[in-house]
Amino acid sequence: MLRTVAISVLIISSALLVLIVFRKRLGLAWLSVFGTHLILAALGIYIVNFSGAVSDLHIPLNPTTIGAVTILGLPGVALLLGLKLTLF
């Protein structure tokens, strides 16, 4: 029962989100910008992981790290490096 309610809320909210996006005439331009930022974030983390500049340092590729770098940009990579060096 609870699963059915959760799935119906997900479907309704997704439909309303699509309605808002196309009603405001945002189109798909924001999606291409977001996709570009996402790819550049993953590329930045890959460069740090495989450059060998800092040995024994690996930033995992997961939604949290990629999301942080997508939102913050290149300073997000520096933030993750700093957190990794100080906390772990």
pLDDT tens for 35-84 read: 888 888 888 888 888 877 666 788 888 888 888 888 888 888 888 888 88
Q: Tell me, what's the pLDDT at 37?
A: 83
Q: Tell me, what's the pLDDT at 54?
A: 65
Question: Tokens representing 9?
Answer: 């809320």
Q: Which of 41, 6, 11 is nearest to 49 (CA)?
A: 41
70 Cβ neighbours under 8 A, 6+ residues apart: 34, 37, 38, 41, 76
Q: What's the pTM value of the predicted model, to 2 decimals?
A: 0.59
